[in-house]
Amino acid sequence: MTQSWEGRSKGNKLGYSIFIGILRVAGIGPAYFLLRFVAFYYFLFSSSNKYISAYFKKLGHSKWQAMGSVYRNYYLFGQTLIDKIVVMSGLKVPYTFEFEGEQYIEEIMAGGNGGILISAHIGNYELAGYYFKRLPVKVNIVMVDNEQQQIKEYLESVMNDRKMSIITIKEDMSHVYEISSALKNNELIAIHADRFVAGSKTISGTFLGEEALFPMGPFVLATAFKVPVSYVFCAKDTSKHYHLSATPPRSYTAHKQVAIPEALNDYIAEVEKKVKQYPKQWFNYYNFWAH
């Protein structure tokens, strides 16, 4: 049984190259059409099905509703990957965006001390980064550098330069100094808080009515630097329209024993709102509630 995220994304180099070729030659429509068959394959054979089905049942889906939702979840996940490739590879971007709470990001930047954006694997957060290119701000994405190397190298080979940078989490904790430097430059730090790899520090909270573990790191950052924190999401409303949202900035200045649980509870509340609004766009393919 998979009890934590393994730090790897689904897919392989051949799959990515096929879709990139289709996108360049024929566009999004044919790529989405082929995706239906790929999603159906995962629906039939993926070992993750039972975990996703259990998630939908927590949201009140019946057995048969959950089965349909599992397929739809795979299909939407594939769409987000295709959309990401379109943006990364410099193809014509056909998407439109609505940003609910953009003024909160502007408020954070006006403070002059940078800020932290905490998100989850809901929708397509990378496309939020594309939207942020129009804002006078640099975004630093904090991530685990544990992707399959051949996929990472292939995607990097087709990427255009973006107004973003990646801060890799390292065992020697040097990433903390990079984060500190970015905040001093009034930049944004973006990090997900709904996955952790085995061996990392975790904190427990009640999510969708059952105890689950969350990575400790994002909430330590949120409380240690004492900069404004906003919970930001980017969900897909239609095939070519995305809805970004940001919460009013919050500061966690109390002692860490109080502030860290407070930040976790605020985060869980926001994620629960989003998964209820976009239930088929939460993309975690392991036993999230395993202890």
Spatial separation of the C-alpha atoms in residues 18 and 89, rounded to whole Å? 14
**Vertex 242, ends 135 and 187: CA angle to 5°?**
25
Spatial separation of the C-alpha atoms in residues 133 and 50, rounded to whole Å? 38
CB 195 within 8 A of CB 5: yes
Mean pLDDT of 73-79: 95
Q: Is the pLDDT of residue 256 over 80?
A: yes
Nearest Cα neighbor of 197 from 229, 167, 169 is: 169
287 CB-near residues (< 8 Å, 6+ apart): 1, 2, 3, 51, 54
State pLDDT tens for residues 86-134.
877 777 778 899 999 999 999 999 999 999 999 999 999 878 877 877 7
State pLDDT tens for residues 165-213.
778 777 778 888 999 999 999 999 999 999 888 788 999 999 999 999 9
Spatial separation of the C-alpha atoms in residues 16 and 72, rounded to whole Å? 20
Spatial separation of the C-alpha atoms in residues 291 and 287, rounded to whole Å? 9
What is the pLDDT of the chain when averaged over all its residues?
A: 85
Q: Any idea which of 137-151, 196-210, 217-231, 255-269 has the lowest mean pLDDT?
A: 137-151
